[in-house]
Amino acid sequence: MSRKFKIWLPHIRLNQEKLAVKTADAIFVPCKQDKNFLMSNLRVKPSKVFTIPRGVSRELFVNNNKKGRDKDLIFVGWWGQRKGIKYLGEAFTQVCRRYPEARLTIVGSKADDGEVYASFPPCIHDNIKVHRSMPHSNLIKEYKRHKIMIFPSLFEGFGMAFLEGMAAGLAVVASWEGGAREIIRDRENGILVPPRSGKSLAEKVIYLLENEDIREKIGQRAAETARNYT
């Protein structure tokens, strides 16, 4: 593929998507934020857009007895600025200052390990495990090995990762964007924080690490909520 074509490819795809939206009889989206985007930016009539949330595998609900280390955190998603990786780096650095034994598992980065580690200071690289990709069956095992998920996206429709984490009984700390904001009730079945705030992410993660009973209750309620999406 030529460099010139690569530059124009996103514009070609955008025009194709606009045409598809314009000519479609009905459009199905997974969350209200996506619906609002179509109505505001592409002037789609509300009557054409239907919101149907995604569902999760029932395997995630089986045997959710957490056997991992108490201070193991997990992030699932590709490695890009839209996913809030800058603030993940800031947050985990602060968590490690309080708890040097904390560990972070990163799954599905789709990036070179060096690019991922560059988001963190060298002194905590040994606290981080990166998986560029992973079979879903193994990802389910990873969910069950952890107790807290960090989901700091800056823009997100209805991400599957946070819902899968909830289904597996994790306490999810997420930015109040997209589908997460529609499903998570702050301090009931998850924790919501302002986008672009590593400090807020760190504070809430530390709060959960220091309050195991609250963390467990949030995880239990998260799994109950996720059952509505099977």
Bridge partners of 128, per DSSP, are: 104
Task: Evaluate whether 176 touches 192 at the Cβ level (below 8 Å).
Answer: yes
Are 87 and 19 contained in the same domain? no
For residue 191, what pLDDT is reported? Answer: 98
Range of the domain at 62: 58-229
The number of domains in the chain is 2
Using left for φ > 0, alpha for ψ between -120 and 50, and beta otherwise, residue 66 falls in beta
For residue 148, what pLDDT is reported? Answer: 98
Stated pTM of the model: 0.85
How many CB atoms within 10 Å of residue 221?
18
How confident is the prediction along the chain (230 residues), in pLDDT tens digits per residue?
555 545 555 667 778 888 888 899 999 988 888 888 889 988 899 999 999 888 888 888 866 666 666 899 999 999 999 999 999 999 999 999 999 999 999 999 999 999 999 999 999 999 999 999 999 999 999 999 999 999 999 987 777 899 999 999 999 999 998 778 889 999 999 999 999 999 999 999 999 999 999 999 999 999 999 999 87
Bridge partners of 174, per DSSP, are: 151, 192
For residue 172, what pLDDT is reported? Answer: 98
Are 9 and 45 contained in the same domain? yes
CATH number of the domain to which 156 belongs = 3.40.50.2000
DSSP state at residue 97: H
How many CB atoms within 10 Å of residue 188?
12
Give the DSSP H or E segment for 171. Answer: strand 171-175
Are 65 and 100 contained in the same domain? yes
Are 177 and 196 contained in the same domain? yes
Are 40 and 120 contained in the same domain? no
Bridge partners of 72, per DSSP, are: 103
Are 26 and 63 contained in the same domain? no
